[in-house]
Structure 1
Amino acid sequence: MARKTDKRREDLRIKLLDLAEATIIKGGLPALKARTLATEAGCSVGAIYTVFGDLNDIVLATNGRTFQRLGRDVARAVQARPNASPADQLVIMGTAYLEFAADNTRAWRTLFDLEMSTQMNVPKWYLAELARLFGYIAGPLRQIYPDKPDRDIDLMTRALFSSVHGMVLLGLEQRISAIPRSDMENMIEMVLRGMARP
């Protein structure tokens, strides 16, 4: 009996995640509502909370899926150019990040729209996905700067990520300070190649 209950809970968990992901892709984070989710899943609102602690937990889980897709896209882009120099790898990753954000804007935005801070009890798996993404950037930086301590590489990694993320965010939102999409790749390349000069 316990196995059947566990199976039902896992099936509901997957169904809720699939529906939440589809909702976010279609309408962004503001479109995700517990009551609507329950109706679409064919369950009560209370049943949702037997599987997830709250709506934020559902968003975290869908963000985990988005992180995995983003990581796969970045890794594939680099693997497609096995002879790329470390500087070229950084540019490839920056371009892949831009392409992922442009093609999956609402899911990508939800990675950053969910209110989170270092003071929160963020799940270990979520931090691991973020660390994996940073690891892609840190690899080429360690090749370019073999004598720098890990702390400096970590700071450079976060600086590069923040720079590229900021350019992509401003560009995709078409803020007044942004540049046209056609120039975004060039700007990302300029910043990354500048950082890649030891």
Structure 2
Amino acid sequence: MGRRSDHTRPQIEQMLVVEGHKHMAEVGFARFSAREVAKRIGYSIGTLYNVFGSYDRFLLAINTRTFQLWTAQLRSALDVGGADRIRCLVESYFAFARSHRNLWLAIYDHHLPADLTLPEEQDRLRGELTRIVVEEVAAVLPPAAAPLVPSLARSLVATVHGHCAFDLAGAFALMGETEPVEMALARVRESLGAAARSFDGSSV
């Protein structure tokens, strides 16, 4: 039976997100159970829906927590990664996906319903990860490239994501490719180099 008077609503929300995040890491998106999460913290599934409003909003909160974890790990990696920060970005992308496979996949397995908008605070938290990439890309390109940087950064993330998804799915192994990180890094450097040369003839 739910312990309806034991915690405040914000406390219950936090408990559900923390436990939901753990459960997602354990079983993955396809086997995830909101009812199991509620049960683990001693509340009913009705309480979960009262707090979040819908299953999709609950999943959004869990995936946002993953973005926060990812952002923290990327910042830590950059702090100790040395001078080649572009390499660090690419390696960190693969490292996070490989070590948090279920959480990483859940971000892309959950498709946001057309009538559901990402809450502003969650959008801000998720955006921190992209902002780091934008800043690092801007740092290796000439100042004149500034208007191009946000779009280029998103394109580079998509490039690395594709290589990483192939890696996790085993597709590269089937092709006989053994260095997916280096492949992704090479494509990123090619794009950055072309962008740099288009402005001042330099390379990255």
TM-score band, normalised by shorter chain: 0.7 to 0.9
TM-score (norm 2): 0.82
Is the counterpart of residue 36 in structure 1 residue 33 in structure 2? no
Structure 1 residue runs without a partner (length 5+): none
Cα distance, 1:119–1:184 mapped onto 2, change above 3 Å: farther
Asked if the contact 1:171/1:181 (under 8 Å) is kept, the reply is no
Q: What is the aligned residue count?
A: 190
Structure 2 CA distance for partners of 1:155 and 1:99, relative to 1, 3 Å: same
Q: Superposition RMSD on alpha carbons, in Å? A: 2.5
Deviating more after overlay: 107-116 vs 140-149: 140-149
1:97 is displaced (CA, Å) by 0.8
CA distance in 1, matches of 2:10, 2:75: 30
Q: Deviations over 1:21-75 (max 9, x none)?
A: 1111011112222332332222222111221111112211111111111111111
Q: 1:146 aligns with which of 143, 146, 166?
A: 143
**What is residue 97 of structure 1 aligned with on the other side?**
93
Q: Does 1:130 align with 2:130?
A: no
Q: Residue in 1 aligned with 2:180? A: 184
User: In 2, are the aligned partners of 1:91 and 1:188 still within 8 Å (CA)?
Assistant: no
User: Runs ≥4 in structure 1, deviation > 6 angstroms?
Assistant: none
Q: Please report the TM-score for the alignment, with normalisation by the length of structure 1.
A: 0.85
Offset of 1:128 from its aligned partner?
1.4
Residue pairs, 1:151-170, within 5 angstroms: 152-170=148-166
**Which residue is 1:57 aligned to?**
57
Alpha carbons of 1:181 and 1:72: their partners in 2 closer, same or farther (altered >3 Å)? farther
Task: Give the fraction of aligned pairs with identical amino acids, expressed as a percent.
Answer: 21
Q: Contact 1:16/1:37 (CA < 8 Å) preserved in 2?
A: yes
Aligned to 2:68: 68
- How far off its partner does 1:179 sit? 5.6
Higher RCO (CA-CA < 8 Å; seq separation 6+):
1
- How far apart, in 1, do the equivalents of 2:30 and 2:161 lie? 21
> Kindly tell me: are residues 94 and 118 of structure 1, through their superposed partners in 2, closer, same or farther at Cα, counting changes over 3 Å?
farther
